[in-house]
Amino acid sequence: MNQKMDAPAHPDNPTPDYAAFLQQQLATQPHNVMAHVLGHEQVWIKRAGTPHGTGRYRAMAVLAGLLRLPVLRPVPNPGGPAAIATEVRRLRDLAARGIRVPVVLAALPHGFAMCHLGHTGQEIHSLGNEIDHAVQAGDTATVLALWQQGLDTLTQVHHQGTCLSQAFARNLVRCPDGEVACIDFEDDPAAVLPLAACHVRDALCYAHSTAIYLHASGTVTEGRARWAAWVARGSAEMREVLATSVRRMGWMRHLPTNRKLGRDLQRVRAAYDLLA
């Protein structure tokens, strides 16, 4: 999301009319997701995009079946107003469960307004970017601390009886107080998968997006120990689904550890090394 501030401030309006502002911006803003300033607040407006086709989901379903990995069964994101409705519903549900997410300020069928997770004008970074910066700085203690924060966030979400949508480190952001918030909820895995499978899906997404940082920082051994401790705290059903999934991903051990086949497959191999 680009931090674009183009809306006029309204310092004399102590209680902004979020619904009216949302309706105005949906009709005029040039991009689907933009930041504005309303009064003294920074507000994000997200507008419905073009509805998505279903072809890629069919292909992913076939692949999940061939690999015998139900946790990879695709979770459709229909795009358009349906995705907006899903995201608004999920944000409100997660907030009601005590999970830190952007607050929905107003919603219409074709878009919604949500609060900024930082101070007005302050850029916030994803957990993935912060871990990467710690890797580049050679700060292994911070790498592990930030990585553990992501695991702890998954624990909180799962203990509340729900799941994330795509639990990649890019969708976990660090707020000014150092706490982690969750973003991007255009799909709902629990609508198509059992909850235990959703929790494993979260785990696999997080491992896929972060294990490579453990390898790069030389902390993978400690990471494996922390991962094992995290898994042990999960439900028996989740542990069983995860163990079965990892067994069926055994072919990943044959992937090269270098970038010979590209960065994406390097991430897959690093994740498998962590999981196995």
Tell me the pLDDT tens digit for each residue of 24-71: 999 999 999 999 999 889 999 999 998 876 666 565 666 666 667 888
pLDDT digits (tens, 9 = 90+) for 58-113: 656 666 666 678 888 878 888 999 999 999 999 999 999 999 999 999 999 999 99
pTM (predicted TM-score) = 0.89
Which residue type does 186 have?
Answer: E
In DSSP terms, 42 is beta-bridged to: 37
18-54+58-115 architecture in CATH?
Answer: 2-Layer Sandwich (3.30)
Which DSSP state fits 252?
A: G
Q: Which two tokens stand for residue 55?
A: 């072809």
Which DSSP state fits 8?
A: P
Segments making up each domain of the chain, as ranges? 18-54+58-115, 125-275
Poorest-confidence range of 10-14, 170-174, 192-196?
Answer: 10-14
Which residue type does 96 have?
Answer: A
Which residue type does 153 have?
Answer: T
**pLDDT band, residue 189 (cuts 50/70/90):** very high
pLDDT of 14 above 90: no
The three-class DSSP label of residue 189 is helix
Mean pLDDT of 207-211: 95
Length of the chain (residues): 276
Which residue type does 198 have?
Answer: C
pLDDT of 12 above 80: no
d(CA 129, CA 157): 21
d(CA 145, CA 141): 6
Q: Which two tokens stand for residue 52?
A: 């998505």
State the DSSP H helix or E strand holding residue 172, giving kind and residue range, or none if neither.
strand 172-174
Which DSSP state fits 52?
A: P
